[in-house]
Structure 1
Amino acid sequence: MNTRMRVTIITTGVLVLLLVAALIYVVVDSDEAERAAGGGADPQIVRASSHVLDDGGQGAVTVVEFLDFECEACGAFYPIVEDLREQFAGEITYVVRYFPLPGHRNSVNAALAAEAAAQQGQFEEMYHRLFETQAEWGESQESRADVFRELAEEIGLDLAAYDDAVADPATLERVQSDFEEGRDLGVSSTPTFFVGENAVELREWDDLESAIGQAVEGGR
């Protein structure tokens, strides 16, 4: 091998190494920029996009429920929650967030139905109907999207708009964003309640009422 050929090979090798190093720098720098742009944000218990069932106004205690519409425990807590909403009317702001559990075949479908209804201003109507009919579709191993569409018709939704919303990937992303933020907050089961900034440890049926009552009294 002559000197000119050796110089050519070495020069080519150096250029390749420089190119690889530059590519690695670009990838790492891009990942860091993405994390800085949003990946490192602290999880929030309530977001501006969260669904508010009751707004108690300034000074009210915020109560947040991460729920799965197919969850039997959520269904059991539903009448309790409704009683508490009435009992503490004007003193709490009640917020609902999605946390569809992977083991439930129709939990995501139900959340999509609720979110599609929310886009037509009827989240609470669908929220009630999903819990009131849970026994009819819960624990099914087949998709019951047809049942949810019937519920949409019953509450008077525009079905074409409903179908478009359910099929829109952005609707699923909205549901998943609640789920992912819930995990970041330490949610692992449903229902999980936050009163103010604190997660409520549920051991007895009246634990939620007690937590809300203490927070309301503390704010007076």
Structure 2
Amino acid sequence: MGKLKGGFFMKKVLFLICFLLGAGSLTASDFDPAERHKVPLQESFSKGSEDPSVTIVEFSAFNCPPCKRLAGIFDDVLKDYSKDVRLVFKHGVPRALELEKEAVLATWASGQQGYFWEMHDLLFEFKDRGFEAYLQHAERLNLDKDRFVADFQSDAALSSIENEWRVSSCLGNYGTPNFFVNGKKYSGELWTHERIREIIEKELVLMESMGNPKYTEIMEMSEGEEFLCGKKVFKIIPSLSKARFFVDEILREEPFTVIGETNSMSGTIDVDFDFPKRSSVGQIDIDSDSFITDSNSRNRAIRNRILDSGTYPLVSFKATRIDGLPEKATFYPGQKYELEISGELTIKNKTLFETFDTVLEIVDFSTIKGFAAVEALWADYGVSVPQPPFVQLIEDSIRLEFEFVGVLED
């Protein structure tokens, strides 16, 4: 047994020697600003060095087992770097937002009394969830219960965590854990003590070659500087989306609604998370040849005569205006916006200005979905609908509906 331990120790020493020899060749020219992200630290809770050469910003979630493991590794490793390294905790974008929300509020409320990290540790240690469980944790920490409840329920708490989720999303964190070492992102590995030490040592050597600049000088947001998420492009996923039309008629003396639908639909939606009113909708195209109804004879009539899809293969909509977007961005998933999206609708060779009543929902930080509908008149688009003998009436109007799911483009 002793021989095994000794062998392991020698391997570890050799690893560190080899690593330090390699890291020692790093110079200031190895610092690439393009691979560094400015991560705002305002209001975030931290521990470790008050004058760090290395700042680690961790995006984590309490319902994430790998996050619990990484938290333990950071605790162990940072003991050896207490003078050089600062750990900053931020709430990442978890897979189960509602489950995570109250746990996050509990840490924020505890942090107002100086016990953020203690609550952080309890939430990883115990699996119990819910407000009563968090009250018990607060009692374990001898917190002022009334203040804890007030802070837990405050708008400031909710605003703080929504902002952190927004920052996490904007930095491309769609899972947890992720962390940034002086702005350089690390994710997707099975983290070990040795790997974390390797990253820290490499960064310490690099920072020393640069004269040990302050984090505020290289990565942190300067006073008055705003963290901008920017415009994100969401691509409509055909397999999850549908375009439909509805036409009312009297068929054999009975009311009947003809429904045609297709998922052959494409387009993009640009969501500006910083300035919502700058959001836009790209051209939406629907394959007119792909509409399916309740009968093959209708399908043939639509393709060959009504829409003449051989000549006019697309029904398209090009948005020019969106009304109803908020002045200020809010990012909590599940939020819905009732909008009016106006623009040019083209059916066959005729283009007219139409307004779609629309509901847009932010499902999570990488997915949106929506529903849009408009009433139009066949005749306005030069469309003639044949009326068979057994059909007594075909209404002049058609209802178009777009149901779509958009996923963030890579």
Q: Same fold (TM over 0.5)?
A: yes
Which letter does structure 2 place at the counterpart of 1:211? Answer: I
2:186 equivalent to 1:192: no
Cα offset for 1:105? Answer: 4.3
Which letter does structure 1 place at the counterpart of 2:171? Answer: L
User: Per the alignment, in what secondary structure is the counterpart of residue 189 of structure 1?
Assistant: coil
Identity, in percent, stands at 24
> Cα–Cα, structure 1 residues 175 and 104, in superposed 2: closer, same or farther, change >3 Å?
closer
Which letter does structure 2 place at the counterpart of 1:53? Answer: K
Name the structure 1 match of 2:41: 47
User: Per the alignment, in what secondary structure is the counterpart of residue 199 of structure 1?
Assistant: strand
Distance in structure 1 (CA, Å) of the matches to 2:203 and 2:38: 19
Which letter does structure 1 place at the counterpart of 2:89? Answer: V
Kept in 2: contact 1:65–1:194 (CA 8 A) = yes
2:204 equivalent to 1:216: yes
Q: After the TM superposition, which residues 64-213 of structure 1 pair with which residues of structure 2 at under 5 Å, given as runs?
A: 64-103=57-96, 105-133=98-126, 136-137=127-128, 144-206=130-192, 207-213=195-201
Cα offset for 1:159? Answer: 0.5
Kept in 1: contact 2:93–2:175 (CA 8 A) = no
Indicate the RMSD between aligned Cα atoms, in angstroms: 1.8
Kept in 1: contact 2:93–2:168 (CA 8 A) = no
Post-superposition CA distance 1:12-71 (Å, at most 9, x none):
xxxxxxxxxxxxxxxxxxxxxxxxxxxxxxx841323111122340x5201010111121
Please give the TM-score of this superposition, normalised by the length of structure 2. 0.39
Distance in structure 2 (CA, Å) of the matches to 1:145 and 1:72: 21
Post-superposition CA distance 1:122-168 (Å, at most 9, x none):
111111211122xx22xxxxx62211110011001101011111111
Which letter does structure 2 place at the counterpart of 1:52? Answer: S
Cα offset for 1:96? Answer: 0.4
Cα offset for 1:208? Answer: 3.0
Distance in structure 1 (CA, Å) of the matches to 2:159 and 2:103: 14
> Cα–Cα, structure 1 residues 164 and 100, in superposed 2: closer, same or farther, change >3 Å?
farther
> Cα–Cα, structure 1 residues 94 and 150, in superposed 2: closer, same or farther, change >3 Å?
same
Distance in structure 1 (CA, Å) of the matches to 2:105 and 2:82: 28
Distance in structure 1 (CA, Å) of the matches to 2:83 and 2:77: 11
Distance in structure 2 (CA, Å) of the matches to 1:47 and 1:56: 14
Cα offset for 1:194? Answer: 0.4
> Cα–Cα, structure 1 residues 65 and 180, in superposed 2: closer, same or farther, change >3 Å?
same
> Which has the larger helix fraction?
1
Distance in structure 2 (CA, Å) of the matches to 1:171 and 1:191: 22
Distance in structure 2 (CA, Å) of the matches to 1:76 and 1:162: 28
The structure whose RCO (Cα within 8 Å, separation 6+) is larger is 1
Which letter does structure 1 place at the counterpart of 2:204? Answer: V
Cα offset for 1:87? Answer: 2.0
> Which has the larger strand fraction?
2
- What is the number of residues matched between the two proteins? 170
Kept in 2: contact 1:202–1:208 (CA 8 A) = no
Q: After the TM superposition, which residues 12-27 of structure 1 pair with which residues of structure 2 at under 5 Å, given as runs?
A: none
> Cα–Cα, structure 1 residues 166 and 100, in superposed 2: closer, same or farther, change >3 Å?
farther
Distance in structure 2 (CA, Å) of the matches to 1:76 and 1:105: 22
Q: Greater CA deviation, 114-123 or 198-207?
A: 198-207
Distance in structure 2 (CA, Å) of the matches to 1:186 and 1:100: 10
Distance in structure 2 (CA, Å) of the matches to 1:188 and 1:178: 13
Unaligned runs of 5+ in 1: 1-42, 138-142
Post-superposition CA distance 1:93-124 (Å, at most 9, x none):
11001125142543111110000001111111
Name the structure 2 match of 1:26: none
Distance in structure 1 (CA, Å) of the matches to 2:119 and 2:40: 21
Kept in 2: contact 1:100–1:111 (CA 8 A) = no
Which letter does structure 2 place at the counterpart of 1:217? Answer: V
